[in-house]
Structure 1
Amino acid sequence: MKIQELYSLFLKSASVSIDSRTTQPGAIFFPLKGENSNGNEYIEKALESGARFAITDEKEREDRKRNIYYVEDSLTALQDLARYHRIKMDIPIISLTGSNGKTTTKELISAVLSKKYRLTATKGNLNNHIGVPLTLLTIKDKHELAIVEMGANHQKEIEFLCSIALPDFGYITNFGKAHLEGFGGVEGVIKGKSEMYRYLAANSKTAFVNCNDPKQMELTADLERITFGSCDEADFRFEFIENQHGKCPEIKYGKLSFQSSLIGAYNAPNVAAAIAFGLYFKVPQQKITEAVSEYDSGDNRSEIIQKDNLKIVLDAYNANPSSMEAALLNFERMEGSKTAVLGDMFELGETSQSEHQKIADLAAMLRIDQIFLIGEHFSQIKNSNSKITLFSDREIAKSYFEKNKISTQLLLLKGSRGMALEKLLPIF
């Protein structure tokens, strides 16, 4: 099937679906294949749910009388369709990636820019080779901007996603110790994430750069770029006012002041990036202030939950060594007795045990009264510190906490998504 014919079907569809369980009436259904599933087997269910068209990459299933159309590969067709639609829509697209803070930053930028522009943005963290096309296919005639989050755990992924989204602006939050297994170490992370910069350079597009990050300034020296941060030479020069309560620093720009409800100094660059995008795109300054102050992350990211006399810092959306260290250092600065409950960090490959050991050693050194480490990797560290208690999994930890009430004023919960530490919340 030619892309023009597929695009014609898309334009007649109300939405795009890849899951027969959530297919809406009028949708075009793309059956994707997984390790243990074949979406082609659910075409009938999608049609029963009201799908107007279905794509298949199994020739024997084609039945144009029933609006089932054959393509060589459903995933490739979805990606090609997204790129074709992006070109047709021709609106500015902002893409962002990074080791930490991608989703928070994307949502902050979206909150700020939506004060002036009609836009669409990545939902949640649908940021891979499937999520990016689905995001692009939500662009409608009414939209003036699109914000596309890009995730990766291997080389060439960001390059591929850029070839689909064709971004006009790019931002990398940071380079950290995330997905070390797939990238092959920190240098691999830098190489993989900076594929976005290489795309921007090759296509004369613009990078937004945190000037307080020397590596990023070095990598973008020859790019067209907009800089922000506390550096004197920044295009948008900010002043960061620290506080003593673990909250995100206040950010000043001239006579303007911005205060986010997010926790942690580590969130300051995320907020600053959103402000910089707002200023660049000429969002009224009062509207930027409103967007920053109103933003609530939710989704177990950088939340403070008050339970009677206990303040819980819930940051269980994800974790890697870089974000774990930042969370611990910020937690130490908060006033009151402190208990940290930390879960395993995933996708660290051969460095996993050493990275878990480093985090345990760091936590032991900080002014944190009790430390509970949960998971297969944390339970194997070498430990002689009486502050630290080890559990091999969350259920064992849960049983312990149910029998032993933790006496503390402040509680940090942080771990990788697969650890789902938020499930411990009802116990405390």
Structure 2
Amino acid sequence: MKLEKLYELFLQFPVVCTDTRKITTNCIFFALKGDNFNGNTFAKKAIENGAAYAIIDEKEYQTNDQTILVNDVLETLQKLANHHRKQSSAKIISLTGSNGKTTTKELINSVLSTSYKTIATVGNLNNHIGVPLTLLSIKKDTEIAIVEMGANHQKEIEFLSKIAEPDYGYITNFGKAHLEGFGGVEGVIKGKSELYDFLIGHNKHIFFNADDAIQLSKLNSYINKYGFSQTNEKYYKIILLSANPFVTIQVEDIEITTKLVGTYNFINCCAAIIMGKYFNVTLANVKKGIESYIPSNNRSQIIEKNGHRIILDAYNANPSSMKVALENFANLEAEQKIVFLGDMFELGSSAKKEHQEIADLASSMKFNNTILVGKNFSATNTKEKTFEIFDDLSSYLKNTSLSKSAILIKGSRGMALERILDLL
């Protein structure tokens, strides 16, 4: 079926689904494939469950007019998303970076939605499937779409940019994330900068942190840029007042008190503020948008439990985010401080070195108790407590009484350190 014909069907049935467990009446099911599944085998079930059509790429599963055969389902999904994007009048803001993408995206959406009809990437569905699904969720009345882009190797952001064709872009930072796939820090900078490359090549608009030397140097001669800074008078001034524990910000004559912990979240807020400023959102609404945002999903959450004040930041971790989380925690005022750190994944040959550096940093901060969990951390040369597997940590906590403390919990998603909450 030609793309134009498929798009006509999409306009009649504008809900896309890729999971038969989430089929809604009159959606279009795209039979994607993975390492351990073949969506074609679920096409019949999808239609039985209410899907209007199923898009397949294996002829043997074409049972009736409701099953539409294409050469490649994933490629068709991506092309349909790009076509829909081109038909829409919505402005597209894309963002990527090593740390803080999802929180920044949520803050931007919270600010802009006070004054515009917006849609944004759901959760962290930010890959070659998630980006098309976000674009296909754009409605007729959508004015701004905020599209998060994730990547773990070079050329991925370039590919996603060609699908989304953003009008605006923002890179949160360049950090030590996915070092294995990118081939080191320089590879990370090159890979994430593919968003800049697309925007500059198409003379589009870039928002950026003018206090980030890498970003400033890369955009030095580019005209279509809008920056924020605490010190550089050439750019929009935003001041960090405090972060003990919650980030408080000064913008012009307005003070904003967030529900976010960590100085690193100051920069995430700045991105939302500069975009609000650009899109003529009043400062009152910028304040409303940021102050109403409450972190969730194990991202910089503050939890009070059994006399402990817990910073739960266990959604993800890499050396860069781990370092700033520790530095922020060290600066917080508390009589007792306990740190739980879990292994950082996707570091490749750098894993041993990076885990040792974080272990040394945590040890130098002399917290009351530092506990390291995982194979990599347990292999470090450290005087701190280490547990190779979570079950051993669990046994320790069940038999240990912790005094009322400020607690930081930080680790990669695969470590699932939020389980610690049930043991406190």
Query: Is TM (by shorter chain) over 0.5?
Result: yes
| Paired amino acid for 1:262 | L
Q: How does 1:14-413 map to 2 (within 5 A)?
A: 14-65=14-65, 67-223=66-222, 224-243=224-243, 245-248=244-247, 250-335=248-333, 336-383=335-382, 385=383, 388-413=384-409
Residue ranges of structure 2 left out of the alignment (5+ in a row): none
Q: Distance in 1 between matches of 2:110 and 2:348?
A: 36
Q: Distance in 2 between matches of 1:304 and 1:239?
A: 23
Q: How far is 1:86 from its partner?
A: 0.1
SS in 2 for 1:100: coil
Contact 1:339 1:408 in 2 (8 A): no
| Paired amino acid for 1:72 | N
Contact 1:168 1:206 in 2 (8 A): yes
SS in 2 for 1:342: strand
Q: Distance in 1 between matches of 2:193 and 2:14?
A: 36
Normalised by the length of structure 2, the TM-score is 0.98
Q: How far is 1:407 from its partner?
A: 2.2
Contact 2:92 2:147 in 1 (8 A): yes
Q: Distance in 2 between matches of 1:209 and 1:221?
A: 11
Contact 2:211 2:232 in 1 (8 A): no
SS in 1 for 2:232: coil
Q: Distance in 1 between matches of 2:327 and 2:145?
A: 35
Q: Distance in 2 between matches of 1:199 and 1:116?
A: 28
Residue ranges of structure 1 left out of the alignment (5+ in a row): none
Q: Distance in 2 between matches of 1:216 and 1:93?
A: 21
Q: Deviations over 1:93-120 (max 9, x none)?
A: 0000000000000000000000000011
SS in 1 for 2:375: coil
| Paired amino acid for 1:301 | R
Q: Tell me how large the CA RMSD over aligned residues is.
A: 1.1
Q: How far is 1:375 from its partner?
A: 0.7
Q: Deviations over 1:351-370 (max 9, x none)?
A: 00110000000000003111
Q: How far is 1:408 from its partner?
A: 4.1
SS in 2 for 1:140: coil
| Identity over aligned pairs, percent | 49
Give aligned pairs, total. Answer: 422
Normalised by the length of structure 1, the TM-score is 0.97
Q: How far is 1:378 from its partner?
A: 0.7
Q: Distance in 1 between matches of 2:22 and 2:103?
A: 26
Q: Distance in 2 between matches of 1:332 and 1:377?
A: 23
Contact 2:122 2:134 in 1 (8 A): yes
Q: Distance in 2 between matches of 1:288 and 1:184?
A: 38
| Partner of residue 2, structure 1 | 2
Contact 1:304 1:313 in 2 (8 A): yes
Distance 1:200 1:14, change over 3 A: closer
| Paired amino acid for 2:264 | Y
